């Protein structure tokens, strides 16, 4: 590790007890001007934090606001309200220059690895690019790229190949290598394994877990499959239409869910054993949760009230606050 890298890491290590990332009452609306002011919130009052070395999972259906939260943290989406603090500093409306400074500390792995890999650049050039931008010599940057490829299970000679010469799983490993080559503190993984087959998915998840333990990394792991989140995360936040439905330790949320939506997510999670899958299907049907297509958006109250079998008039008129139920925080009047 270079002296410059060691100095940078010393500056970014949070003080004892300090959160590495703190998201408070985050609101994001799409659109501009008056349209943005009146548009429904894609993210509506979401709060959570991530400690150094911790993985927090964001899970929910498509359209729940998961990726929007990740983009807001990375500075790719403007915030309409609330705050985002990184290492104790407010970065909610950070300037472009400040975001460039944070580029080595906040990194991302997206669902499509091709989004971060130039098909006309060799793998070595793509991996070395963020290091070269920060002033590292070409030879040292290439050596770092080779070492990183080896760490993610690829041969050194891969530096001279192009993205099209690798499989989907190998390209995702390269995307992980590119995200980690600057030695960041926090990595946003946005559906990073959802496009992979099960065996490759397991390999990449194990790789992410190993790198986290070795380097003390923090992850914000975004996925729609709660079983995938359960494998990697210590804490889980369940989202529905931009609001937090349930949050808490991963084991508590995934094994003893209290919110009807979380229960439906767990029951819908696929398993490889046909008998267990059939049992889960029966449980899901017994819950009486309506499908998303059959339920119109609730104009007020709980956003899940149009699908929830427990819903009453109270649910349709009054938004439930997060309250402690067991080891979790649950936004439900009747959980």
Q: What is the pLDDT of residues 249-302, one digit of tens each?
A: 999 999 999 999 999 888 877 666 666 666 766 666 666 676 665 556 567 789
Beta carbons within 8 Å of 185's beta carbon, 6+ residues apart: 9, 12, 20, 52, 87, 105, 106, 217, 218
Q: What is the pLDDT of residue 111?
A: 84
Spatial distance between the Cα atoms of 107 and 114, rounded to a whole number of angstroms: 16
Give the three-class secondary structure for 110.
strand
Q: What is the pLDDT of residue 193?
A: 84
Instruction: Count CB neighbours of 264 within 10 A.
Output: 24
Tell me the C-alpha to C-alpha distance, in Å, between residue 152 and each of 155, 169, 210: 9, 11, 10
Q: What is the pLDDT of residue 12?
A: 38
Give the three-class secondary structure for 105.
coil
Q: DSSP strand E in 40-110: where?
A: 41-50, 55-59, 81-86, 89-90, 106-110
Q: Whose structure tokens read 């975001």? A: 99
Give the three-class secondary structure for 214.
helix
**Mean pLDDT for back-to-back runs of 10 residues, the chain (335 residues):** 36 57 94 74 94 95 92 93 94 90 88 82 91 87 91 90 90 90 92 82 88 92 90 94 95 93 84 66 66 62 88 91 94 91
Q: What is the pLDDT of residue 6?
A: 35
Please choose, from the candidates 128, 154, 151, the residue with its C-alpha nearest in 3D space to the C-alpha of residue 141.
128
DSSP state of 116: G
Spatial distance between the Cα atoms of 303 and 239, rounded to a whole number of angstroms: 10
CATH 3.40.50.300 domain residues, the chain: 3-105+182-330
Return the CATH fold of 3-105+182-330.
Rossmann fold (3.40.50)
């Amino acid at each position: 590790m270079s002296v410059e890298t060691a100095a940078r890491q010393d500056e970014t290590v949070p003080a004892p007890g300090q959160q590495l990332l703190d998201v408070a009452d985050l609101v994001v609306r799409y659109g501009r001007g008056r349209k943005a002011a009146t548009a429904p919130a894609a993210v509506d009052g979401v709060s959570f934090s991530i400690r150094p070395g911790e993985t927090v999972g964001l899970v929910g259906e498509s359209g729940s606001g998961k990726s929007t939260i990740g983009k807001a943290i990375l500075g790719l989406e403007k915030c309409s309200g609330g705050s985002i603090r990184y290492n104790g500093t407010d970065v909610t409306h950070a300037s472009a220059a400040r975001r460039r400074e944070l580029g080595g500390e906040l990194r991302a792995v997206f669902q499509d690895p091709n989004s971060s890999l130039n098909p006309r650049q060799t793998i070595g050039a793509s991996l070395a690019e963020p290091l070269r931008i920060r002033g590292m010599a070409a030879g040292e940057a290439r050596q770092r790229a080779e070492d990183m490829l080896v760490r993610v299970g690829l041969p050194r000679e891969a530096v001279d190949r192009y993205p099209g010469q690798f499989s989907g799983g190998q390209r995702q490993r390269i995307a992980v290598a590119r995200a980690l080559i600057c030695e960041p503190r926090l990595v946003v993984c946005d559906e990073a394994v959802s496009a992979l087959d099960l065996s490759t998915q397991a390999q990449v998840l194990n790789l992410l877990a190993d790198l986290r333990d070795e380097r003390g990394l923090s992850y914000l792991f975004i996925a729609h499959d709660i079983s995938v989140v359960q494998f990697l995360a210590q804490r889980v936040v369940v989202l529905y239409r931009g609001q937090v439905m349930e949050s808490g330790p991963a084991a508590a949320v995934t094994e003893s869910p209290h919110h009807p939506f979380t229960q439906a997510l767990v029951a819908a999670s696929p398993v490889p054993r046909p008998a267990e899958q059939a049992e889960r299907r029966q449980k899901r049907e017994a819950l009486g949760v309506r499908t998303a297509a059959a339920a119109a958006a609730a104009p007020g109250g709980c956003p899940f009230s149009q699908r929830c079998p427990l819903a009453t008039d109270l649910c349709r008129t009054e938004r439930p606050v997060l309250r402690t139920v067991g080891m979790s925080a649950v936004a439900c009047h009747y959980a």
